[in-house]
Structure 1
Amino acid sequence: MKDLKINTAIQISKPVDVVYEAIIDPKKMSNYFISEGSGRMEEGKTLKWKFPEFPEEAEVWVVEVTPLEYVSFQWEGAKGKKLLVEITLLPMPGDNTLVKVTEEGMPANEAGIKWLAQNTEGWANFLASLKAYLEYGINLRKGAFDFMKEAAGK
């Protein structure tokens, strides 16, 4: 049986170079995704990402970067599982960019189905937040997940 795979996509009304920088630069990412990052996404680097709603840091291993086209990394996308995330940027007419995100590596079992639901929601939120930040200067994530802190007893 094949591993499960998340597929998400959104079109953003910005040129590919603007979208690419927003994805690889932690200062820009902190406006829609992470609270801070240890460096730019560059091939072979190991980074640390902090999220505003979680106390722990996420370790990110950057696998491949093709400027203005593609970024892939591995991270612990599920407890104890190193998963592959791929972000592909496709220029579209009128200075628009299609952003595709995939994540894969979980088996087709109960834990995998739970992961599929949670992380599909997460990547859809990532894309919507990226679009809101780049097109309107809004940080959709700010305060959006405070309920998670309360549920964890923070």
Structure 2
Amino acid sequence: MSDNNLKCSEAQMRIRKPASEVFQAFIDPEVTKYFWFTKGSDKLEVGKTVTWEWEMYNFSTQVVAKEIVENQKITVDWFTSEMPTTIEFSFQSLSDDTTYVSIKHYGFEETGEQLLLAIKNSTEGFAFVLSGLKAYLEHNINLNLIIDKFPKELM
């Protein structure tokens, strides 16, 4: 087993929409903003640096797409510290109108308890992302999962 598999978070979900629609939801920030971040500087393209913002938390990060395979896979480097981590979004078409999405996040530099916490937080975060995606694409509902995770009244 590779070190990446040992230091990896993973979340997955069936989305009852075609792979092309689910794939575009992650490529196009005008869709992604309804279930994940609030603002993206541009669509994902290989080699292009894109900024994703969570305006309610005054937080942003840069991502660079390393690989994009139309309707199948997106791999990005995620820069939240000096050393980026890698996120792989995989889209498996189960039928004409059903897609299985898997998100793997790896490359963590933390060790021990800090690594366990980073993997736990990543897994939880991407489970929220996939749940929000499912609600938005299947039912046109924005569940506000990301903003409601840390209400400003509690901060």
Please show how residues 33-112 of structure 1 align to structure 2 within 5 Å.
Answer: 33-77=36-80, 79-106=81-108, 107-112=110-115
How far residue 9 of structure 1 moved from its aligned partner, in angstroms, is 0.7
Correspondence 1:144 to 2:127: no
Determine if contact 1:48/1:58 at 8 Å carries over to the other structure.
Answer: yes
Q: Distance in 1 between matches of 2:124 and 2:83?
A: 18
How far residue 7 of structure 1 moved from its aligned partner, in angstroms, is 1.5
Determine if contact 1:41/1:62 at 8 Å carries over to the other structure.
Answer: yes
Residues 87-140 of structure 1, C-alpha deviation per residue, up to 9 Å, x if partnerless? 000000251000000000125422111101111000000100000000011111
Residues 20-60 of structure 1, C-alpha deviation per residue, up to 9 Å, x if partnerless? 11110000001111111000011111000111432021111
Larger deviation, residues 3-12 vs 37-46:
3-12
Determine if contact 1:38/1:48 at 8 Å carries over to the other structure.
Answer: yes
TM-score (norm 1): 0.89
| Aligned with residue 133 of structure 1, among 131, 136, 139 | 136
Larger deviation, residues 86-95 vs 105-114:
105-114
How far residue 80 of structure 1 moved from its aligned partner, in angstroms, is 4.2
Aligned amino acid, residue 144 of structure 1: D
Match of residue 117 from structure 2: 114
Q: Which runs of 5+ in 1 are unaligned?
A: none
Q: Percent identity?
A: 27
Larger deviation, residues 37-46 vs 101-110:
101-110
Q: Number of aligned pairs?
A: 150
The root-mean-square deviation of aligned C-alpha atoms, in Å, is 1.8
How far residue 62 of structure 1 moved from its aligned partner, in angstroms, is 1.1
Correspondence 1:5 to 2:11: no
Structure 1 stretches (4+) deviating beyond 6 angstroms? none
Aligned amino acid, residue 106 of structure 2: E
How far residue 150 of structure 1 moved from its aligned partner, in angstroms, is 3.8
